[in-house]
């Protein structure tokens, strides 16, 4: 169901994303992933992404990346995250929800992978982290969003902790 209020909120969020994340072209292949050599997962991700160089990413690659989130380097993540956000909000909720819940879930890392999550997001500016918080708020306000699917409070806390690390 599309209502005017939701459309307005989505438009405001899109403007925030566009302002916080200026256009960035795909980083050099070797810079995309955490490992440059000896890791088949990272090699696979680089090959998949490389096929899209100069092209627009599509649903197949977003779904593929959702399963390979951990392979993205900080600069790979900085390039990828605004594309992912724009893609999610360009879809109807039903088509986007799996990608959206995954993203929120990724902001609630297990204790043992928390450090690598902070590192992955380490190149984001304060403005760019705030944009992720706006995205969470946008989800939270959507009538289709189920709190029970993911731990939204933990995701907010994670991003606020990241903000504090940035400003300290």
Task: Choose the binding region for Zn ion from 33-41, 59-67, 90-98, 155-163 (rule: CB under 5 A).
Answer: 33-41
Nearer to Zn ion, 44 or 108 (CB): 44
Task: Choose the binding region for Zn ion from 27-35, 86-94, 98-106, 116-124 (rule: CB under 5 A).
Answer: 27-35
Task: Choose the binding region for Zn ion from 35-43, 57-65, 79-87, 110-118 (rule: CB under 5 A).
Answer: 35-43
Any residues with CB less than 8 A from the CB of 99 and at least 6 apart, and which?
A: 62, 63, 66, 84, 87, 88
Q: Do 72 and 32 meet the contact criterion of CB atoms below 8 Å apart? A: yes
Q: Do 149 and 98 meet the contact criterion of CB atoms below 8 Å apart? A: no
**β-bridge mates for residue 4, sequence order:** none
**SS3 category, 125:** coil
Class of residue 107 by CB neighbours under 10 A (exposed 0-12, middle 13-18, buried 19+) = buried
Instruction: Tell me the site size for Zn ion, rule CB under 5 A.
Output: 4
Nearer to Zn ion, 116 or 125 (CB): 116
| In the complex, minimum distance from the CB of residue 145 to Zn ion, in angstroms, rounded to a whole number | 32
Q: Is residue 39 close enough to count as binding Zn ion by CB under 5 A?
A: yes
Q: Is residue 48 close enough to count as binding Zn ion by CB under 5 A?
A: no
Q: Return residues touching Zn ion (CB under 5 A).
A: 35, 39, 41-42
């Amino acid at each position: 169901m599309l209502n005017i209020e939701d459309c307005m909120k989505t438009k405001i969020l899109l403007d925030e994303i566009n302002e916080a994340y200026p256009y960035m072209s795909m980083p050099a292949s070797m810079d995309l992933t955490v490992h440059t050599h000896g890791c088949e997962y990272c090699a696979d991700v680089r090959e998949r992404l490389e096929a899209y160089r100069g092209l627009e990413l599509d649903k197949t690659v977003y779904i593929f990346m959702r399963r390979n989130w951990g392979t993205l380097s900080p600069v790979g993540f900085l390039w990828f995250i605004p594309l992912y956000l724009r893609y999610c909000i360009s879809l109807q909720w039903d088509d986007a929800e799996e990608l959206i819940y995954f993203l929120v879930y990724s902001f609630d890392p297990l204790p043992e992978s928390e450090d690598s999550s902070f590192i992955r997001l380490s190149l984001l500016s304060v403005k760019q982290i705030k944009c992720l918080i706006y995205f969470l708020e946008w989800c939270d306000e959507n009538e289709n969003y189920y709190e029970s699917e993911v731990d939204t409070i933990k995701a907010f806390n994670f991003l606020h902790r990241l903000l504090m690390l940035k400003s300290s």
